[in-house]
Chain A
Amino acid sequence: MTAAATSAERRPSRFNLGTIERRNLRWGLLFISPWLIGFVIFGIFPIVYTFYLSLTRYSGLRDPIFVGTANYERMLADPLFWKAAYNTLYYTLLAVPIGVVVAMLLAIAMNQKVKEVTVYRAIFYLPSILPVFAISFVFIVLLNPGYGLVNWLLTAVGLPSPNWLGDPAYTMIALVMIAQLGAGQWALVFLAGLRGIPTELYESAEIDGAGAFRKFKSITLPLMTPVILYDIIIGLSFGLQVFTSAFILTGGGSRGAAGPDNSLLTFVYYVYKQAFQFGAMGYAATLSVVLFIASVLLAGAVFRWARGWVFYGSEDA
């Protein structure tokens, strides 16, 4: 290559970009800059600032006072931190698998070849667009142990009728029930996944004598695993941040405790209480940092676990 070779012909090395690549990179960054700026201001900066606040005593109104790791030491000795963490994990481990199953069942129902399927799809999807706080108010009536519809149905079939919102053994189950009203949204995602499965696979299976269950187990489920993984990851994220329904069911935190024996004290609810009821923004920031780290670790663990069962369809036979 001569010294006079044009920049277009110059071969870039492994880490250096050629002129064209540099220009393309500049234009590319320019085009995504609105999102990038927004992400830095509203995403990265709050995370970094929260890390800083977690090392301070801060009411939210006066200047922060640096206290080092005191907040973290306090957190480890705080029984409500452990209670909130336990409640949140319990909720997440219950709500996410149940949510996947409910969404899958709804999607299969929505995928049936019946004439009025569009009506059924609308009915299944409708509850998921209602605001959570409104649903929570409705559930307070539905779950009334004395005259609520849920207990009336349970009693009618001879089952026990628990005190859903007054018995610490059942409050979290009530919260999981409320969460299932949002399953319609996920069912749509699952439905898209179902519609993406080639029908030839089912036809071949039928020719080989496979029944409905075998087709589901050997064709539907494996090919749906990427969607299931997506639902689990997003469900995990929402589950760890559950707040609104717990807040409404416990009267907005004005009673001092979140449900009987603090059984509805979720992690974000505790962050809210510390930040806005107790004026301890610094400690609330500490809890937020821990939640962030726990979420990243859990997501990482799920991705690692998923390597063993998610089928992306690109592997060689």
Chain B
Amino acid sequence: MTSSSRRSRSLVLGSLVALVVGACGPTASPGGSASPGSSAEPTPVTGASCASGATEVKFWTSHTPPDSDTLAKIVEAFNTANTDICVKMTIVPGGETDIAKLLTAIRGGVAPDVYMADRFTVPQRAEEGALDALPASSEAKKSEHVEFAWNETQYKGKTYALPFDTDARALWYNKDLITAAGEDPAQLDISKGAPTIELVTRIADKINKLDASGNYEIMGWMPGGPGDSGPGAFDQGWHYTWGFVHGGSFAEGCDVTPTNPGVVAGFQFLYDWQKAHDPQKVARWVTTNWPPQSPQQSFPFWTGKLGMTISGDWQIANAKKYAPNTNFGFTFIPVPKEGDETATWAGGWSMALIPNSKAKDQAVKFIEYATGPDGQRVYTKDTTHLPTLTALQQDASLFDEQHKVFLDLLPDAKNRPPLAVGGIYWDALTQAQGSVELNSKTPQEALEEVETTVQPRLDEVGC
């Protein structure tokens, strides 16, 4: 081989090596991470004025304004009180059962240190390995929180999150629309106890208004769904709501029981109500007035397009903001028969530690602060959710007359079973609710399918 051809070969080989190394650089490596502050990572909304040298704690939430504004307030208060720690809060896409962003971040090595998880999904996420067990200092908080909220954060004897807030549900009604329909809103006054479904439906049907094409323009009531993005509750008329109201139970030990007679009865109510009101017309009203991706100010209950809705205590703050001049009232969720025991259920969120956190001690300190009296007090006042700390529940200064009604519902409120398939179970029930409300499946059919889908998964992971 001549020296010139040797040189050419070396040149070509060198160029090829450079190309390969460049193509297989950090952005392409399996565990590669985007550098902090790169365009791939969302921008934090707090931490701009932290002291230099403070240990950074990344906190992700899927909450959006106005609730996230209050969260930011809590974070900044913590940062001010702890100048050696800088909590950077970021709003990320996701929801109660959708944590795709978190899962991919954990796999990619760019996970946050703290994540705000819907509490009933904590056992499932712990089983998947998405959450880290909290240390003994957090375990010691058990006695400070209401029992049902604490139980939801447990998985196989360990604590994986601390409860942050809770809530309760009631029937909200627009007194002005009821009066305009020729009915007396006093019939629904809370002092009269839980109204019957029959009474509420009768009043609601009088509020219904059709347009020239025979489609609903105003609806008196939406007991179930569909919601803005499809199947499931329009507001809080979920499968759990009506299952509990009809005396149903969703799990026994390590078995899911969607075909429990009470649960089936709850779904039957939704099936019958939709049949009586035409599922296609109901769906059309929803898609017209509450299409996907709608902002809170367009919610039909604020715009006078909906007479009554099953909703939660957080709407007290929203009502003041979006419909301050409308006369609202709330009462117990309607019951099947006169004299039946009323029911509601409590949900809520939690703060969880993510595995492989590089600032674990600081992250735990923030979690304990946010879920402690300082954080929960601010969140309760601003967003009208309920605290999980028993001491705060007894602090009368936190609750106005309206909010106290929901607080009083809490001791008898049911809660979702803390199973390691919580999210999967919720989704399966939601799909079943959707089919039943479209009248495309009977309640028994739909709920048997739920059992077939979910129980094997629970058997795999155990309780």
Are B291 and A140 within 8 A (Cβ)? yes
Chain B residues contacting A250 (CB-CB under 8 Å) are 229-230, 292
Which stretch in B166-174, B282-290, B326-334 binds the other chain? B282-290
* Given A57-B460, A255-B230, A259-B230: A146 and B107 interface contact (C-beta under 8 Å): no
| In the complex, B48 has a CB within 8 A of chain A | no
Are B128 and A61 within 8 A (Cβ)? yes
Are B430 and A257 within 8 A (Cβ)? yes
Are B291 and A276 within 8 A (Cβ)? no
Chain A residues contacting B230 (CB-CB under 8 Å) are 250-251, 255, 257-260, 264
* 299-344 of chain B: CB within 8 A of chain A: none
* 10-43 of chain A: CB within 8 A of chain B: 30-31, 33-34, 37-38, 41-42
| In the complex, A256 has a CB within 8 A of chain B | yes
* Given A257-B430, A261-B440, A262-B431: A277 and B99 interface contact (C-beta under 8 Å): yes
Chain B residues contacting A249 (CB-CB under 8 Å) are 292
Are B107 and A60 within 8 A (Cβ)? yes
CB distance from B70 to the nearest CB of A (A): 21
In the complex, how many residues of chain A place their beta carbon closer than 8 angstroms to a beta carbon of chain B?
Answer: 54
Are A253 and B98 within 8 A (Cβ)? yes
Chain B residues contacting A280 (CB-CB under 8 Å) are 457
Which stretch in B12-20, B144-152, B244-252 binds the other chain? B12-20
Are A33 and B284 within 8 A (Cβ)? no
| In the complex, A163 has a CB within 8 A of chain B | yes
CB distance from A104 to the nearest CB of B (A): 33
Measured CA separation A145–B97 after assembly (Å): 29
Chain B residues contacting A214 (CB-CB under 8 Å) are none
Measured CA separation A164–B128 after assembly (Å): 37
Are B293 and A166 within 8 A (Cβ)? no
Are A255 and B291 within 8 A (Cβ)? no
Measured CA separation A280–B430 after assembly (Å): 19
Chain B residues contacting A80 (CB-CB under 8 Å) are 431, 453
* 125-140 of chain A: CB within 8 A of chain B: 137, 140
Which stretch in B177-185, B403-411, B421-429 binds the other chain? B421-429
Measured CA separation A163–B213 after assembly (Å): 13
Q: Which of A30, A41, A276 contacts B98 (CB 8 A)?
A: A276
Q: Which of B23, B104, B289 contacts A34 (CB 8 A)?
A: B23
Are B226 and A166 within 8 A (Cβ)? yes
| In the complex, B190 has a CB within 8 A of chain A | no
| In the complex, B368 has a CB within 8 A of chain A | no
Are A163 and B284 within 8 A (Cβ)? yes
| In the complex, A241 has a CB within 8 A of chain B | no
CB distance from B117 to the nearest CB of A (A): 13
Measured CA separation A49–B288 after assembly (Å): 45
Measured CA separation A78–B428 after assembly (Å): 12
CB distance from A68 to the nearest CB of B (A): 14
Chain B residues contacting A78 (CB-CB under 8 Å) are 453
Chain A residues contacting B96 (CB-CB under 8 Å) are 254
Measured CA separation A140–B424 after assembly (Å): 28
| In the complex, A279 has a CB within 8 A of chain B | yes
Are A251 and B292 within 8 A (Cβ)? yes
| In the complex, A147 has a CB within 8 A of chain B | yes
CB distance from B157 to the nearest CB of A (A): 18
| In the complex, B196 has a CB within 8 A of chain A | no
Select from chain B the residue with minimum beta-carbon distance to A251.
B229
Q: Which of A252, A257, A273 contacts B95 (CB 8 A)?
A: A252
CB distance from A65 to the nearest CB of B (A): 9
Are A255 and B229 within 8 A (Cβ)? yes
* Given A61-B128, A260-B438, A277-B99: A33 and B20 interface contact (C-beta under 8 Å): yes
Chain B residues contacting A257 (CB-CB under 8 Å) are 230-232, 427, 430-431, 434
Where chain B touches its partner, the secondary structure class is helix
Select from chain A the residue with minimum beta-carbon distance to B13.
A30
Are B12 and A30 within 8 A (Cβ)? yes
| In the complex, A59 has a CB within 8 A of chain B | yes
Q: Name the residue in A31, A61, A79 with the highest tally of chain B Cβ atoms < 10 Å from its Cβ.
A: A61
| In the complex, B103 has a CB within 8 A of chain A | yes
Are B103 and A60 within 8 A (Cβ)? yes
Chain A residues contacting B124 (CB-CB under 8 Å) are 279
* 92-120 of chain B: CB within 8 A of chain A: 93-100, 103-104, 106-107
| In the complex, A217 has a CB within 8 A of chain B | no
| In the complex, B11 has a CB within 8 A of chain A | no
Chain B residues contacting A61 (CB-CB under 8 Å) are 103, 106-107, 128-130, 355
CB distance from B274 to the nearest CB of A (A): 12
CB distance from B418 to the nearest CB of A (A): 16
Chain A residues contacting B280 (CB-CB under 8 Å) are 163, 166-167
CB distance from B340 to the nearest CB of A (A): 28
CB distance from A216 to the nearest CB of B (A): 41
CB distance from A164 to the nearest CB of B (A): 8
| In the complex, B266 has a CB within 8 A of chain A | no
CB distance from B205 to the nearest CB of A (A): 21
Measured CA separation A272–B93 after assembly (Å): 15
Measured CA separation A250–B431 after assembly (Å): 13
Are A277 and B98 within 8 A (Cβ)? yes
Select from chain A the residue with minimum beta-carbon distance to B280.
A167
| In the complex, B276 has a CB within 8 A of chain A | no
Measured CA separation A141–B292 after assembly (Å): 9
CB distance from B246 to the nearest CB of A (A): 21
* 143-201 of chain A: CB within 8 A of chain B: 144-147, 163-168
* 33-73 of chain A: CB within 8 A of chain B: 33-34, 37-38, 41-42, 57, 59-62
CB distance from B3 to the nearest CB of A (A): 18
* 252-303 of chain A: CB within 8 A of chain B: 252-262, 264, 272-273, 276-280
Chain B residues contacting A57 (CB-CB under 8 Å) are 460
Q: 0/1 per residue, B224-235, Cβ < 8 Å to A?
A: 001111111000
Measured CA separation A42–B24 after assembly (Å): 10
Chain A residues contacting B288 (CB-CB under 8 Å) are 144-147
Are A33 and B16 within 8 A (Cβ)? yes
Are B128 and A279 within 8 A (Cβ)? yes
Chain B residues contacting A79 (CB-CB under 8 Å) are 449, 452-453
Chain A residues contacting B429 (CB-CB under 8 Å) are 256
Sample (29) of A-B pairs whose CB atoms are under 8 Å apart:
A37-B24, A41-B24, A61-B107, A80-B431, A144-B287, A145-B215, A145-B288, A146-B215, A146-B284, A146-B287, A163-B280, A166-B280, A166-B284, A167-B284, A168-B440, A250-B230, A251-B228, A255-B430, A256-B427, A256-B431, A258-B230, A259-B230, A260-B438, A276-B98, A277-B97, A277-B98, A277-B99, A277-B100, A278-B457
Interchain residue pairs A-B with the least CB separation, the first 10? A251-B229, A256-B430, A146-B288, A254-B95, A61-B129, A276-B100, A166-B283, A279-B128, A256-B427, A59-B128
**A-B contact sample (14 more), CB < 8 A, given A59-B130, A60-B128, A260-B283:** A41-B28, A61-B106, A166-B283, A166-B284, A166-B287, A168-B440, A250-B229, A253-B98, A254-B94, A257-B434, A260-B438, A261-B231, A276-B104, A280-B457
